[in-house]
Structure 1
Amino acid sequence: MDKSWMSNSRLSKEYKDGVDQFLKFAIARTSNPQLMRCPCRSCGNLVFQTSEEIRYHLFSKGIDQRYKTWIWHGEEDFTRASTSKKNGKNRFVESFKYDEVVNTIEMVNDAFEYSKDDPKSFQTLLEDAEKPLYPDMLPNSNEIPSSIKEAKKTMTTLGFEYEKIHACPNDCILYRNEYNGLSACPTCKTSRWKVKDKSNKECKGVPAKVLWYFPPIPRFKRMFQSSQTTRDLTWHVNGREVDRKLHHPADSPS
């Protein structure tokens, strides 16, 4: 397939015909023609776009000229296929490197997918990543969070939120809901607050025990946002072959 158009001017007829040829080729071979990896210089096959958006990017930003083999758009990688003639060790190493690249790309896409419901916050993170943090030994205009609270806000944007709940030192109750205003456990009468060893005085406001609660729903959402991870997580229900035979390790204790 002629790909010389990739290095031509974006205003030329050859480039326009090449873009049409590429999109026609990709739509006919990808599993989801409505959403494909964009090979423009900016996206670099890391971001999924519609075919119309990809066309716009290819003309406004240009195609990544290093993308000679369209492996993300249905073209077979003959260089990868030829490694089958090599010994097993080389095949394993090359396969590992290839899979490592794929996993990295999927991780980036999953992060983008997780933030699609709040694109403004994700765009803010991208803009912050471009700002210099160490230009001149941290001047007054530096972008490092000025407090732990600000740093936690950044982590919360990525879905890493958590909640700290005061607990009874003997694990009787959690100080929440109807117990939120108590200063001692109603079951064992132990103080909610930390007690100094020497003076035996309570440190008001300093809990004796804290439970860190990590909400499971945002974490489950991240687990199931990657199509590959979703297939792996549901394989025991959808992918197992039911032939009434014992299989190892699928049927062994987890």
Structure 2
Amino acid sequence: MDRSWVHASRITDVYENGVEEFLQSAQRNATLVNGKYYCPCNCLNVRRQSIELIREHLLCDGFLKSYRTWTWHGEVVNLSSIPQSQESNVYHEDRMEDMIDDIGEDNFKSAQVYDSLKDDSEKSLYPGCTRFMRLSAILKLFNIKARNGWTDRSFTELLELLHEMLPEGNMLLTRQEILCPMGMEYQKIHACPNDCILYRKQFETLTKCPRCGVSRFKVKDDDVDEDNMKKGPPAKVLWYLPIIPRFKRLFANVNDAKNLIWHANGRKSDGLS
């Protein structure tokens, strides 16, 4: 399909005809969710809109010129033919709505949690922001935290600072609770600050690590009373995600499930391995 119309003036017939051809192609090939498609105007393919609203956006605001490979609208891409420098631009959005739809409402702890996350995935980070939604923003920040080993305290301080720096009325959370109710079961297990043991099974009732002798709980410099130590918060906590719920999440999406079992069902076997 000819795409030169994208750079034409929006008041010309060339541009208007190009928009109509694009919309027809999207309706034939793109995935329809709740009667909506991703909008490639200033919405940056983050928000889903009706065809009528997409047409209005494209005619009034223009087409996203950096969106050259129409993957969100049914175009199949051969990644092996794309230069490595361009691959990162092909799949650049989180598609949080699809992820939540794949998990399904029944798999969340409550309908309220599902509705809250659904709302956060569609809510702009701040008034006028079209690139980041509330949920995608906090998840991107949390990924940086995890990769760099930030403490919870330092991450919370960063969230509070960013909340103050962003425009007034921004929706950025100043705590990490949004990550907790994703429907995933989890267990909090106390751990030795030096990573010697987990306080479970035979170590569950101990107050000090049997290997290094460090207290299980946070201790003040002037606190020598062991009973007071037990009342304090744990020095280190491991968040454990049980394997069965994790497998359920991995196989929630049909396409992801096919990729996960490819080595067993799709790979050609020569009988040598």
Q: Give the TM-score normalised by structure 1.
A: 0.51
1:88-167 equivalence runs, <5 A: 95-105=83-93, 108-109=94-95, 111-115=96-100, 117=114, 118-123=117-122, 126-127=125-126, 133=161, 151-156=175-180, 162-165=186-189
Q: State the shift of 1:233 in Å.
A: 0.8
The answer to whether the 8 Å contact 2:31/2:73 transfers is no
CA deviations on 1:11-67 (whole Å, 9 max, x unpaired) are x55444322212223444x3x453586352223345565655543543454322344
2:193 aligned with 1:205, yes or no?
no
1:230 corresponds to which of 246, 257, 261: 257
1:1-254 equivalence runs, <5 A: 2-3=2-3, 5-6=5-6, 7-9=8-10, 13-28=13-28, 30=29, 32-34=30-32, 38=38, 40-46=40-46, 51=51, 54-59=54-59, 61-68=61-68, 70=70, 73=73, 95-105=83-93, 108-109=94-95, 111-115=96-100, 117=114, 118-123=117-122, 126-127=125-126, 133=161, 151-156=175-180, 162-165=186-189, 169=199, 171-172=201-202, 201-202=226-227, 203-206=229-232, 212-216=239-243, 219-220=246-247, 223-224=250-251, 229-241=256-268, 245-248=270-273
Between the aligned partners of 1:100 and 1:54, the Cα distance in structure 2 is 25
CA deviations on 1:175-211 (whole Å, 9 max, x unpaired) are 8xxxxxxx99xxxxxxxx8699x96833232469966
Q: What SS is found at the alignment partner of 2:259?
A: helix
The answer to whether the 8 Å contact 2:190/2:237 transfers is yes
Q: What SS is found at the alignment partner of 1:164?
A: strand
The answer to whether the 8 Å contact 2:186/2:240 transfers is yes
Aligned to 1:188: none
Q: What SS is found at the alignment partner of 2:176?
A: helix
The answer to whether the 8 Å contact 1:134/1:142 transfers is no
Between the aligned partners of 1:199 and 1:136, the Cα distance in structure 2 is 40
CA RMSD of aligned residues (A): 5.3
In the comparison of the two structures, how many residue pairs are matched?
Answer: 207
Q: What SS is found at the alignment partner of 2:58?
A: helix
Q: What SS is found at the alignment partner of 2:43?
A: coil
Between the aligned partners of 1:33 and 1:195, the Cα distance in structure 2 is 52
Q: State the shift of 1:151 in Å.
A: 1.7
Q: State the shift of 1:159 in Å.
A: 6.6
| Greater C-alpha radius of gyration | 1
Q: What SS is found at the alignment partner of 2:179?
A: helix
Distance 1:137 1:220, change over 3 A: same
Q: State the shift of 1:171 in Å.
A: 1.9
Matching residue's letter, 1:230: A
Between the aligned partners of 1:5 and 1:48, the Cα distance in structure 2 is 23
Q: Percent identity?
A: 30
Between the aligned partners of 2:266 and 2:22, the Cα distance in structure 1 is 34
Distance 1:34 1:8, change over 3 A: same
Structure 1 unpaired stretches of 5+: 82-90, 176-182, 185-192, 249-254
Matching residue's letter, 2:23: L
Between the aligned partners of 2:162 and 2:264, the Cα distance in structure 1 is 50
Q: What SS is found at the alignment partner of 1:58?
A: helix
Q: State the shift of 1:143 in Å.
A: 8.5
Between the aligned partners of 2:164 and 2:119, the Cα distance in structure 1 is 29
The answer to whether the 8 Å contact 1:113/1:225 transfers is no
Between the aligned partners of 1:134 and 1:74, the Cα distance in structure 2 is 36
The answer to whether the 8 Å contact 1:26/1:74 transfers is yes
Structure 2 unpaired stretches of 5+: 102-113, 127-133, 139-158, 192-197, 208-215
Aligned to 2:212: none
